[in-house]
Amino acid sequence: MRRVIFLVALVSGCGGGMRGVRSGTEGDSEAPVTKEAAAPSESPSRESTSRPVSPPTQITARHVLIQWMGCRNAPSSVVRTREQAEVVASDVLKRARAGENFARLAVEFSDEPNAGRRGGSLGRFGKGQMDRQFEEAAFALAPGALSSVVESPFGFHVIQRIE
C-alpha cells in the first residue's frame, strides 16, 4: 500500500500571507502486494530509499509584482490605490492560469525594477531571503504551480515556482 502526502496552501491576497495550510493523504494504491514487497527489508540500501524527502531549503521562482502608492519601495511613478493594485494582480493571475506566458506578463505588468528583462525570475533563493509572506507562499508551491495573489509590504505578487 502506498500513501502519497500532499500539502495545499491557501494563500490570500487580502491581509497578506498564508491563511491556512491543509495536509492529508491521497491515493492509497490497490496494487497487489508481492511476497518480496511484503517481506521486511534486509538491505540497508532499500531502507534508505524509503526515507521521507525533506522539504527544499532553496527553490527557484518568478513573480509579477503589482505595487500601490505608499507600499514599501514603491517609486513615485506608482499612483494606483491598493484596491486598484489588487484588481490588476487578480487579472494577472487569471491570465497566467489561462496559460498566458508568465514572462510576458512580467514584462507587461511587473513594477519590480528590471523584472521584464528577467521574465520575473528571482533565480534561486533560500529560506530567510525573502519577505515572510512571499517566502511562505513560494515554498508551499509545487514546482510549476502558481500561487494565488499574495500580499506583502512590497505589493501584490503572483508567484510561479520553477523548481
Q: Give residue limits of the domains in the chain.
A: 1-163
What pLDDT does 30 receive? 40
Q: How far apart are the first and last CA of the chain?
A: 28
What Å distances lie between residue 44 and 21, 33, 48, 49, CA to CA?
Answer: 35, 21, 6, 9
CB 96 within 8 A of CB 62: no
User: Is 163 in a helix, a strand, or coil?
Assistant: coil
- Split at pLDDT 50, 70, 90, the class of 101 is very high
Q: Could you give the angle at which helices 102-109 and 82-97 cross, rounded to 10 degrees?
A: 160
What Å distances lie between residue 1 and 31, 40, 45, 73, 77, CA to CA?
Answer: 7, 14, 20, 52, 58
Please indicate whether residue 115 or residue 22 has the higher confidence score (pLDDT): 115
Closest listed residue to residue 78, CA positions, set 109, 50, 32:
109
Among 18-27, 35-44, 122-131, the range scoring the smallest mean pLDDT is 18-27
Does the structural domain 1-163 have CATH classification 3.10.50.40?
yes
For 17-68, strand residue ranges (E) read 18-26, 58-66
What pLDDT does 55 receive? 80
